[in-house]
Amino acid sequence: MKKNNDLLWYILAAVIIIADFVVKRHILASYRVGEVFGGIPGICDFIYVQNTGAAFSMLSNGTVILSIISIAFCIGAGVYWVMKKDKPPILKLVLVLLFAGAFGNAIDRIFYGFVVDFISIKWFEFPTFNIADMAIVAGAVLAVVYVIFFDKENKNG
């Protein structure tokens, strides 16, 4: 039964990676850099942006180092998944979200030399982002929640 449970987590990771991939490929094939192509009125615009850096444009033009970091993280997360047998569901979700997000952006960096971003929030100044970025942020927030409220190992010593 445990393996079947893991299968659902693998499927979730695959769904996130595939959704991110398909949307980005559509944008690459259909729009020019800087072109606005829709959005949600009052909330966000969809605009094609090429990001050669990380979050908030850190390490701009750092595609190679960011690719290496992403791949190393994905390998580390996979090894941790295999080595730590009894993970609580929230930790599994953290790992799945962080892995899928890192993998999705690594695909772009390796094959295109940039990450395709397209969601631009309208009601405050925030960098343009994508589905993989949302997975990474959600995973990071859940990781903090896990460490503060659920990580019994570290609380006991």
Cβ neighbours of residue 131 closer than 8 Å, sequence gap 6 or more? 16, 19, 20, 23, 104
CA distance 139 to 145: 10
Of the residues 6, 20, 86, 117, which is catalytic?
117
Distance CA 47, CA 42 (A): 15
DSSP classification of residue 37: E
Main-chain phi, psi angles of 156, to 5 degrees: -95, 5
Known active-site residue 108: no
Catalytic residue status for 117: yes
Contact 16, 1 (CB under 8 A): no
**CB of 53 closer than 8 Å to CB of 61:** yes
Q: Which of 86, 108, 133, 151 is catalytic?
A: 133
Active site (catalytic) residues: 117, 133
